[in-house]
Amino acid sequence: QKEVEQDPGPLSVPEGAIVSLNCTYSNSAFQYFMWYRQYSRKGPELLMYTYSSGNKEDGRFTAQVDKSSKYISLFIRDSQPSDSATYLCAMSFNTNAGKSTFGDGTTLTVKP
């Protein structure tokens, strides 16, 4: 079993919909939770990260972490066609280890 499991998708929604992207994990030692966005034929880019439990908002994006359930989510409000991409969750420890564990990604298509 993988340490990080991500909803495989693909996900297709109409423009303006609220999107929920989710990951579960098994290692309770993870402290940092990242979301990356990867456009087709490009490298991943960091969207946002959170530390421990709670919510973090950045514009239309909200990252949520529930450490008790080992579950993280990324919500996208008022989704736009430009949000069409693959979204990767990643997690790391609270040490100088410098290595993240990635989910396999969920591909999102927002239709105009």
Residues near another protein (CB under 8 A): 6, 32, 34, 36, 41-46, 49, 51, 88, 90, 92, 94-100, 102-105
| Gap between the Cα atoms of 90 and 74, Å rounded | 12
Tell me the three-class secondary structure of 73-85, residue by residue.
EEEECCCCHHHCE
- Tokens, residue 89: 């969750």
| Minimum distance, C-beta of residue 52 to another protein, in the bound complex (Å) | 11
Q: Please give the C-alpha separations between residue 91 and each of 2, 17, 70, in angstroms, as whole numbers.
A: 13, 27, 11
Q: Which is nearer to another protein, 17 or 61 (CB)?
A: 61
CB of 59 to another protein, least distance (A): 18
Measured from the CB atom, the residue of 17 and 67 that comes closer to another protein is 67
Q: For another protein, which is the closer residue by CB, 5 or 60?
A: 5
